[in-house]
């Protein structure tokens, strides 16, 4: 409506993370079809992407955090309840952690955020409510305790690590039950075009975590970008999965 009312006003549309279809929708809705387009690379070569199949996930999280006790990081979980439970269990294990979600009082959220930015708090356990506008350069790791619903969110959240261009880690804990739960939540929203889009995005996320090839290639390919060679800085590149001919097993 603003574009129609002020058709002669200069307009620029900006997005940090959007796939090709979303970018096309922005141009169409804002009637910027003939406008020049500028797109930077989505690649963050200093971030190492890793996926672990969930097997006693809290112990896996602890094993990841213990050698990083002096580093700053974010642990994302899908629900407020899980965020609070994880933060409490981490504190019981001696990890300097605090919870952050939209259900907390504003003053408490502000305190957690400021302590984190001032390096007075090592780990924030949060829902996706945490992170927008956070420009902390020395976040060394981002852990996803639950499977994100789509690659855009995953990319944005992992992108809060390593903004100083130094090495950083992005770990995702993934289980088949995560996919079942995520699909149920999408399907509960009712049938229609939006549901089909959400299911496609979820399927793309599952393809990323189940990839047997360079994860960075899969991630960048989702945003329409390609690289000439495997990245050498993801778990698949550094520790390739073992392969075998399962033809006879599958037939049997």
Tell me phi and psi for residue 126, to 5 degrees.
-145, 160
Q: Is 54 helix (H, G, I), strand (E, B) or coil?
A: coil
Cβ contact 13:30 at 8 Å = yes
**What is the layout of strands, in order, in the sheet containing 47-53?**
47-53, 168-174, 139-144, 72-76, 123-126, 97-100
Q: What is the DSSP string of 210-249?
A: T-SS-HHHHHHHHTT---SS--S-BHHHHSPPP----HHH
Longest dimension (CA), the chain: 69
- The predicted model gives 140-160 an average pLDDT of 94
Q: Is pLDDT larger for residue 15 or for residue 216? A: 216
Confidence of residue 40 (pLDDT cuts 50, 70, 90): confident
As a whole-number percent, the residues of the chain with pLDDT over 90 amount to 67
CA 243 to CA 187: how far, in whole Å? 34
The pair of structure tokens assigned to 40 is: 């930077």
How long is the chain? 252
Q: Is 85 helix (H, G, I), strand (E, B) or coil?
A: helix
Q: What is the DSSP string of 95-108?
A: --EEEE-TTS-HHH
Flag the least confident range among 32-41, 86-95, 189-198. Answer: 189-198
Mode of pairing for the β-strands spanning 168-174 and 72-76: unpaired
CA 124 to CA 98: how far, in whole Å? 5
CA 182 to CA 238: how far, in whole Å? 29
Residues with Cβ within 8 Å of residue 126, at least 6 apart in sequence: 74, 75, 76, 77, 83, 99, 100, 101
Mean residue pLDDT across the chain: 91
* pLDDT tens readout for residues 49-91: 999 999 999 999 999 999 998 899 999 998 899 999 999 999 9
pTM for this model (two decimals)? 0.88
What DSSP designation does 200 have?
A: H
Q: Which residue has the tokens 């940090």?
A: 16
Cβ contact 215:235 at 8 Å = yes
pLDDT confidence of residue 89: 96
């Amino acid at each position: 409506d603003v574009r129609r009312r002020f058709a002669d006003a200069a307009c620029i549309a900006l997005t940090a993370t959007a796939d090709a279809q979303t970018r096309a929708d922005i141009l169409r809705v804002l009637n910027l079809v003939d406008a020049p387009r500028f797109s930077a690379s989505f690649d963050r070569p200093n971030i190492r992407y890793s996926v672990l199949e969930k097997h006693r996930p809290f112990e896996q999280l602890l094993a990841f955090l213990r050698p990083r006790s002096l580093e700053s990081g974010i642990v994302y979980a899908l629900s407020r309840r899980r965020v609070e439970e994880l933060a409490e269990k981490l504190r019981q294990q001696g990890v300097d952690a605090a919870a952050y979600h939209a259900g907390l009082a504003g003053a408490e959220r502000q305190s957690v955020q400021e302590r984190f930015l001032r390096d007075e708090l090592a780990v924030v356990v949060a829902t996706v409510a945490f992170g927008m506008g956070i420009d902390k350069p020395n976040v060394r790791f981002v852990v996803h305790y639950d499977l994100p619903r789509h690659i855009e969110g995953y990319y944005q959240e992992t992108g809060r690590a390593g903004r100083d261009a130094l090495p950083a880690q992005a770990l995702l804990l993934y289980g088949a039950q995560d996919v079942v739960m995520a699909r149920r939540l999408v399907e509960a929203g009712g049938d229609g075009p939006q549901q089909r889009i959400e299911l496609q995005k979820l399927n793309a996320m599952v393809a990323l975590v189940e990839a047997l090839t360079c994860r960075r290639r899969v991630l960048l390919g989702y945003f329409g970008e390609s690289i000439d060679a495997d990245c050498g800085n993801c778990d698949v590149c550094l520790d390739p999965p073992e392969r075998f001919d399962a033809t006879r097993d599958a037939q049997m």
